[in-house]
Amino acid sequence: MPQAARGIAIVSGSKAWNLAGLKVALTVGGPEVTVLAELHEVVTHGANHLAVLAQTAAYSEGEGWLDQVLGELTDRRALLADLLAEELPQVRIAPSAATYLSWLDCSALGLDDPTQTFLDKGRVALAQGWRYDPLRGRQWARINHATSPEVLTEAVRRMAASL
pLDDT tens-digit map of 79-93: 999 999 999 999 999
Do 18 and 51 lie in a common domain?
A: yes
- For 3-146, strand residue ranges (E) read 8-11, 26-29, 92-93, 101-105, 127-128, 140-144
Question: Which residue among 61, 91, 111 closes a domain?
Answer: 61
CA distances from 90 to 111, 137, 138 (A): 12, 17, 16
Q: Quick one: 100 and 139 in the same domain?
A: yes
pLDDT in tens, 99-156: 889 999 999 999 999 999 999 999 999 999 999 888 888 999 999 999 999 999 999 9
What is the reported pLDDT for 34? 81
For the segment 65-73, the average pLDDT, to the nearest whole number, is: 92
Angle between helices 63-87 and 149-161 (to 10 degrees): 20
Examine the domain organization and report whether 17 and 96 are in the same domain.
no
* Residue range(s) defining the domain that contains residue 17: 2-61
* E-only strand ranges, 63-144: 92-93, 101-105, 127-128, 140-144
What percentage of the chain has pLDDT greater than the value 90? 58
Q: Which residues pair with 143 in a beta bridge?
A: 102
| pLDDT at 45 > cutoff 80 | no
Q: What's the pLDDT score for residue 43? A: 67
| Number of domain units in the chain | 2
